Amino acid sequence: SQKIEQNSEALNIQEGKTATLTCNYTNYSPAYLQWYRQDPGRGPVFLLLIRENEKEKRKERLKVTFDTTLKQSLFHITASQPADSATYLCALASNSGTYKYIFGTGTRLKVLA
């Protein structure tokens, strides 16, 4: 069955450092990979989308890579700030015409001041 793995342990980093979160998947060939931010008690908010034919995507301090050979995506936040503390979810979707998003378990990031 399709499986998405994100590091379930919380990631603590110092302010100003780069945070790197990992999303691995198996038994799936997604055409799209997305990253969302979720704050406690709230719905996820979309951050970035990357397609299978794209290696890297950037938006301000965020960078996403997508390696379909390794079946892995890396999500980087540069110059991290305490306000970046949240849970980050990766989501996969195919291009089969069924617009169904499959989510990982999320990684909780805490940026220490």
Partner 1 sequence: DGGITQSPKYLFRKEGQNVTLSCEQNLNHDAMYWYRQDPGQGLRLIYYSQIVNDFQKGDIAEGYSVSREKKESFPLTVTSAQKNPTAFYLCASSTVDSGVTEAFFGQGTRLTVV
> Which residue type sits at 80?
S
**Residue 86 is a binding residue for partner 1 (CB under 8 A):** no
Q: Which of 45, 70, 79, 112 binds partner 1 (CB under 8 A)?
A: 45
> Which residue type sits at 85?
S
Contact stretch for partner 1 (CB under 8 A) within 11-19, 62-70, 73-81, 91-99 = 91-99
Q: Which residues of 75-94 are buried (b: 16+ CB within 10 A; e: fewer)?
A: bbbeebeeebbbbbbbbbbb
Give the tokens for residue 3.
């499986």
**Residue 46 is a binding residue for partner 1 (CB under 8 A):** yes
Contact stretch for partner 1 (CB under 8 A) within 11-19, 45-53, 57-65, 66-74 = 45-53
Phi, psi (5° rounding) for residue 84? Answer: -80, -10
**Residue 85 is a binding residue for partner 1 (CB under 8 A):** no
**Residue 91 is a binding residue for partner 1 (CB under 8 A):** yes
Residue 29: how many CA atoms within 13 Å on its side-chain side?
4
* Interface positions with partner 1 (CB under 8 A): 4, 6, 8, 31-32, 34, 36, 41-46, 49, 89, 91, 93, 95, 98-106
